Structure 1
Amino acid sequence: MPLPTDPAVLKTSQGLVEVLHGIFGPHPGTRPVHAKGILLEGIFKPTPEAASLSTAPHFHCPSTPILARFSSSTGVPNLPDTDPNGNPRGLALRFMLEESPRHVHTDIITHSTPFFLAKDGPEALAFFRALASGTIEEFLSTHPAALAFVQAEKPFPASFGTERYFGVNAFKFINQEGRETFIRYRVIPVAGESYLNPEQLKEKSDLYLYDELSTRLASGPVIFDLVAQMAQDGDVTDDCTVHWPEDRTLVKLGRVRLNSVMGDNDAEQKRAIFDPVPRVQGIEPSEDPLIDTHAAVYLMSGRERRAV
Structure 2
Amino acid sequence: MSNSLPQNAVNTLEQLQGKFPGYRRAHAKGEFYEATFIPNGNAIPYTTAPHLQQEPVAATVRFSNSPPDPSAADFLSPAKGMAIHFHQPDGSISHQVCTTVPMFVTKDPKTFIDMLKILGSHKTGIHSVDLGLGVAKLLTTFPEHKNTLLTLKEQLKQPPISYAALNYYPIHAFFLVNAEGKRQSIKYEWHPLKDEKSPSILDNIHLSKNYLHEDLEKRVEKGSVGFELYIRIGEDTDPTDDPTDKWPSDRQKILVGRLTINKKVLPTESLLFDPTIVGEGIDLSEDPILHFRHDAYAVSFDRRNKEDEKTP
Q: Say whether 1:19 aligns with 2:12.
A: yes
Find the counterpart in structure 1 of residue 150 from structure 2. Answer: 151
Contact residue 48 and residue 178 of structure 2 kept, 8 A = yes
Find the counterpart in structure 1 of residue 165 from structure 2. Answer: 162
Find the counterpart in structure 2 of residue 289 from structure 1. Answer: 288
Report the Cα offset of residue 221 of structure 1: 4.5
SS in 2 for 1:50: coil
Report the Cα offset of residue 193 of structure 1: 3.7
Counterparts of 2:277 and 2:31, CA distance in 1: 22
Counterparts of 1:224 and 1:140, CA distance in 2: 33
Contact residue 182 and residue 237 of structure 1 kept, 8 A = yes
Moved more, 53-62 or 38-47: 53-62
SS in 2 for 1:51: coil
Find the counterpart in structure 2 of residue 53 from structure 1. Answer: 46
Q: Say whether 1:224 aligns with 2:224.
A: no
Q: Say whether 1:69 aligns with 2:62.
A: yes
Amino acid at match of 1:208: Y
Q: Which runs of 4+ in 1 moved over 3 A?
A: 133-140
For residues 180-202 of structure 1, give each alpha carbon's deviation from its aligned partner in whole angstroms, at most 9, with x where no partner exists.
11111111000114312122112
Counterparts of 1:112 and 1:163, CA distance in 2: 7
Q: Say whether 1:173 aligns with 2:161.
A: no
- After superposition, where does 1:122-133 map in structure 2 within 5 Å? 122-133=110-121
Contact residue 221 and residue 260 of structure 1 kept, 8 A = no
Match for residue 235 of structure 1 among 233, 238, 241: 238
Compared CA separation, residues 107 and 277, structure 1 to 2 (3 A): same
Counterparts of 1:117 and 1:107, CA distance in 2: 22
Contact residue 84 and residue 97 of structure 2 kept, 8 A = yes
Count of residues in correspondence between the two structures: 292
SS in 2 for 1:49: coil
Counterparts of 2:224 and 2:57, CA distance in 1: 16
Counterparts of 1:294 and 1:214, CA distance in 2: 29
- After superposition, where does 1:66-215 map in structure 2 within 5 Å? 66-83=59-76, 86-97=77-88, 104-133=92-121, 140-152=139-151, 153-154=154-155, 155-215=158-218
Counterparts of 2:27 and 2:111, CA distance in 1: 20
- After superposition, where does 1:269-284 map in structure 2 within 5 Å? 269=269, 271-284=270-283
Q: CA RMSD in A?
A: 1.8
Contact residue 118 and residue 145 of structure 1 kept, 8 A = no
What TM-score, normalized to structure 1? Answer: 0.89
Report the Cα offset of residue 293 of structure 1: 0.8
Counterparts of 1:285 and 1:140, CA distance in 2: 30
SS in 2 for 1:48: coil
Consecutive unaligned residues of structure 1, counting only runs of 5 or more, are 1-5
Amino acid at match of 2:242: D
Amino acid at match of 1:303: D
Report the Cα offset of residue 217 of structure 1: 1.1
Report the Cα offset of residue 262 of structure 1: 1.1
Contact residue 171 and residue 184 of structure 1 kept, 8 A = yes
Counterparts of 1:279 and 1:191, CA distance in 2: 28
Find the counterpart in structure 2 of residue 3 from structure 1. Answer: none
For residues 102-157 of structure 1, give each alpha carbon's deviation from its aligned partner in whole angstroms, at most 9, with x where no partner exists.
x6311001100111111121111121123334596665434234443222121322
Compared CA separation, residues 184 and 193, structure 1 to 2 (3 A): farther
Identity among equivalent positions (%) equals 29
